[in-house]
Amino acid sequence: YTSGTTGRPKGCVLTHANLHAEAANTVELLHPIFKEVTDQVASTLLFLPLAHILGRTLQIACLTARIEVGHFPSIKPDELRPALKAFRPTFLVGVPYLFEKIHDTGRATAERIGRGASFERAHRLAVRFGAAHLDRFLGRGKGPGPALYAAWALYDLLVYRRVRKELGGRLRYAISGGSPLERDLNLFFYTAGILIYEGYGLTETTAAATVVPPLGPRPGTVGLPVPGTAVRIADDGEVHIKGGIVFGSYWNNPDASRQVLSDGWFATGDLGSLDADGYLTITGRKKDILVTTGGKNVSPAVLEDRLRSRPPVGQCLVVGDNRPFVGALITLDAETVAHWLSVRGMPAGTPLSEVIRDPRMLADVQKAVDYANEAVSRAESIRAFALVEGEFTEENGLLTPSLKVKRQAAQEAFAAEVDKLYA
């Protein structure tokens, strides 16, 4: 079944042939680097919802390739970290939220021991070093100079090795999917010795339709079509996919099937672009596009991804459809709030209703909003935001099991807060 982020989940008819094609492609593309380049017995810890297609196909692929697999029943980072230390996988598959929270935990740990500024310098250096190193790898530049290498060696001792240790010490590769991973975050992990390959796919494509190939990393893209798969961009920017991984129909829903399937091509509903080398970049979802009263089309995905990558933001929802400007509802990450209170000498039991009104917290969130706005034009930028109490969770119906925000449900739950933004 689809995740249900934009409406009622639909059943996808997937065959054994679909599953075999997906598993075979995954093994063909990714297994060589996990096994031969690392010179380790490949192993992974699966924690994705295994009733969803990504978890299912990963299980089949790992069995096919004789990869050692462990299972863990939670995707929550604070519960997952001890399991990673115990199992010590060589690679992981997760959603951007996981990598964002690992990064946030590293920052919080550094601040607790008085090295917050050092972590921020390590992050900025990682972006510069990673970009230069990748340019050399791809034949586009000379690579890091002596000064950058010296700085990298220092921060590897102070910061990066601690990140690797938190993930078990053997992790060298990861695959991220579900939504775009912020480029700077990808470069941070790359510099820390963990290469994250982004992929893109849907339940309808039996999971991954594109993956960044092991010897062709391109942070910010979701890679090339998997073998036997074709990708094209329609006139309106929609991504279309064709191949052995594409589903046959929606279960007992012929009308919906006809809307998205034509001549073997599946219309994904996602917007994207292909570069000169055939790498796909996802820019948003057609149904999510906001149109302001000024006539500006805004894709909320870019803003939301960048917002979530900066503490103290937990989850967020960008709004503005048929409104005069773009706004955002933001929840605070519980772990970050606890750390924030501790650093400021405030009681751990301070009510969240007080925290979200604290001028210092509002200023910290404004920095995250400013960072998000750097990626878009002024007309597309977030002009106002509101901090809301509570969280978006699977339990309260605002998140899918794979941690995607159910946009319609969230807008209905916080309708009053949205109206206040525009009062």
pLDDT at 390: 80
Mean predicted lDDT score pLDDT of the chain: 89
pLDDT at 36: 60
Q: What is the mean pLDDT of residues 73-91?
A: 87
Beta strands in 203-260 (DSSP E): 207-211, 224-225, 229-233, 238-243, 249-250
pLDDT at 346: 92
CA distance 157 to 173: 20
Percentage of the chain exceeding pLDDT 70:
97
**CB neighbour burial string for 146-167, b if at least 16 within 10 angstroms, e if fewer:** eebeebbeebbeebbebbbebb
- H runs (alpha helix) in 33-145: 53-64, 77-87, 96-112, 116-137
pLDDT at 416: 93
pLDDT at 80: 87
The answer on pLDDT for 150 being more than 90 is yes
pLDDT band for position 200 (cuts 50, 70, 90): very high
In sequence order, what are the residues at sequence separation of 6 or more whose Cβ sits closer than 8 angstroms to the Cβ of residue 107? 116, 119, 120, 123, 311
CA distance 375 to 306: 8
pLDDT at 38: 60
Let me know: does 220 contact 176? Beta carbons within 8 Å. Answer: no
Is the entire prediction scored with pTM above 0.75? yes
Q: What is the mean pLDDT of residues 30-49?
A: 75
pLDDT at 102: 86
Q: What is the mean pLDDT of residues 357-386?
A: 94
pLDDT at 35: 66
pLDDT band for position 6 (cuts 50, 70, 90): low
pLDDT at 34: 63
pLDDT at 5: 67
pLDDT at 100: 85
Q: What is the mean pLDDT of residues 259-282?
A: 94
Q: What is the mean pLDDT of residues 6-15?
A: 86
What are the tens digits of pLDDT across the range 103-116?
Answer: 888 888 888 788 88
Domains in the chain (CATH in brackets) are 1-284 (3.40.50.12780), 289-421 (3.30.300.30)
pLDDT at 31: 72
Per mean pLDDT, which range of 244-253, 263-272, 280-289 is the poorest? 280-289
The answer on pLDDT for 47 being more than 90 is no
Per mean pLDDT, which range of 36-45, 240-249, 284-293 is the poorest? 36-45
Q: What is the mean pLDDT of residues 33-62?
A: 80
pLDDT at 230: 97
Q: Count of CB atoms within 10 A of residue 252's CB?
A: 10
Q: Find the largest Cα–Cα distance for the chain.
A: 63
Phi, psi for 265 (deg, rounded to 5): -90, 135
**Separation of first and last alpha carbons in the chain:** 39
Q: Find the angle CA(52)-CA(403)-CA(378) to the nearest 5 degrees.
A: 130
